[in-house]
Structure 1
Amino acid sequence: MENFMNIYTVPVAVALATVSIWVLKGVLYRKLYTMYSAWILNRLTVGLDRAYMRHKKRLFQIVEDYKNRQHGDLKILELGVGAAPNLKYVPDNSEITLLDPNPYLKKHAEENIVEARKRLKSVEWVQGVAADIPSPSNTFDIVCCTLVLCSVVDIKKCLSEIHRVLKPGGMFVFVEHVAAEKNTWKRLVQTFMDPVHYVLYDKCSVIRETETYIRASSLTDIKIERFHANLYYWVTPSIAGTATK
């Protein structure tokens, strides 16, 4: 028995050490990548907000008009908030929940959150994913997202969750970059660049046909405008629009 232990102790110890290092490496990698993702998204915030500002302002004016028709303050959910640049567009006295899976983004959003709290009823940061929104059904008047559906893992489930948490008659507003038309040079370049974006920008896909998914969802009264944003050649195709529960 003693000889048996001597023969197998070292290999077993090496195997356990190898597995432990592999697990720790994975944990460390995920943490470092999550920190990197928060950093790079924050760095991109100003440029992206500038590129889509005109369409954001128009959409949030629609939200303002919705508020006036409702004759009451709004409960809003924003998905994938990043550094929270959209807070400045939100109608006064709203209650807004900011949902993002990356815990390291909160510190980058803090300045915008502090400023928004001066004119909004409440601003709550929640860590979570759009495919499993931690809110009861029929909770929000408005759900909004900008440049988020390109990177969610399960876009069908995400849109289903948006429909679930909206109040009856509630509105979904969105601005997204999307795939170019098929059989074009831009689509070819997008296909080439897609793996790069996936790695560098936290699972972002430039060939996702987001409009198709939205139109196939349970949402109704879908209105979508296609346009080209002032961004890199392969990221310019974009959509902005609204949909209703």
Structure 2
Amino acid sequence: MENKFQNNAIRGPINAFFFKMISGYMDILFGNSKRKLFKNHPETVIEIGAGTGANMRYLKVGTKLIAIEPNIHMHANLKKSAVKYGIHLEIKEVVGESIDLPDNSCDFVVSTLVLCTVSSPMACINQIKRILKPSGVFIFIEHVKARDNSMLAFIQNLIHKPWHWFFEGCHTNRDTKQLLESVGFNKLELETYNSYSPFIPIIPQIRGRAVK
């Protein structure tokens, strides 16, 4: 399965540069949540949409990170981040809907602000569930669809097309909360909240952990 927005010769490098530049600001917005969610992670972590490596700062030195990152323009900065944070990096240039890892093989999978972008979020979530071992943990932070008929919903719908084009297929109004609730994890801890920032379309968010 291929995302038509990935590896665009113009958007790809621009997005790689943009996300590298805002890494520090994203830590201000999400750092506390990520530190709690990443706490006590195992020696090997699988990350869906690792981007430029912004989440490596929350991993213990010496962690093995298997990065599912189909956008080749992210890879150079991803490798630099691995050196900076002392992470053993393996990059897999595949999409989240087609993860080339065995069934029941992973203890810990991460996705932050990624399920909005994949072509088929349900297929991606099912892949995550497939590769997790029994009692394996999936942690997530995602922006979601706003409440119907709210001002945020109006803004999300208004800006969706240009946002979707520039940010490589990102959906401002995807109901990821409902998708996670429908998959059938043995345990789902999910918090809905607003993360106020200049990025208005992604203010409504969820965070939590799912156990297979």
TM-score normalized by the length of structure 1: 0.78
Residue 184 of structure 2 corresponds to residue 213 of structure 1: no
Q: Which residue of 1 aligns with 2:76?
A: 107
The 1-side partners of 2:124 and 2:89 are apart by: 22
1:80 maps to amino acid: G
Task: Give the counterpart letter for 2:169 in structure 1.
Answer: K
1:190-237, CA deviations, whole angstroms, 9 ceiling, x for partnerless residues?
110111210111111110111100011132210111121132222211
1:155 to 110, 117, 121: 121
**Which residue is equivalent to 1:49?**
27
Give the Å deviation of 1:152: 0.6
The 4+ residue runs of structure 1 with deviation greater than 6 A are: none
Partner of 2:99 in structure 1? 133
Aligned to 2:53: 84
Q: What is the match of residue 193 of structure 1?
A: 159
Q: Deviations over 1:68-100 (max 9, x none)?
A: xxxxx4321001011111112123543220110
Letter of the 1:83 counterpart: T
Q: Which structure dedicates a bigger proportion of its chain to helix?
A: 1
Counterpart-to-counterpart distance in 1, 2:211 and 2:144 = 21
Give the match's secondary structure for 2:65.
strand
Mapped partners of 2:65, 2:184: distance in 1: 24
Question: 1:30 corresponds to which letter in structure 2?
Answer: N
Aligned length: 206
What's the counterpart of residue 146 of structure 1?
A: 112
Task: Describe how 1:89-100 pairs up with structure 2 within 5 A.
Answer: 89-100=58-69
Q: Which consecutive residues of structure 1, in runs of 5 or more, have no partner in the other structure?
A: 1-25, 68-72
Q: Would the alpha carbon gap of residues 93 and 109 (structure 1) be closer, same or farther in structure 2, given more than 3 Å must change?
A: closer
- C-alpha separation in 2, matches of 1:36 and 1:233: 21
Q: Percent identity?
A: 24
Greater mean deviation of Cα atoms: 231-240 or 166-175: 231-240
Task: Give the stretch that moved more between structures: 37-46 or 225-234.
Answer: 37-46
Do the aligned partners of 2:79 and 2:89 also contact (CA within 8 Å) in 1?
A: no
Q: Is the 8 A contact 1:74 1:141 kept in 2?
A: no
Structure 2: 5+ residue runs without aligned partners?
none
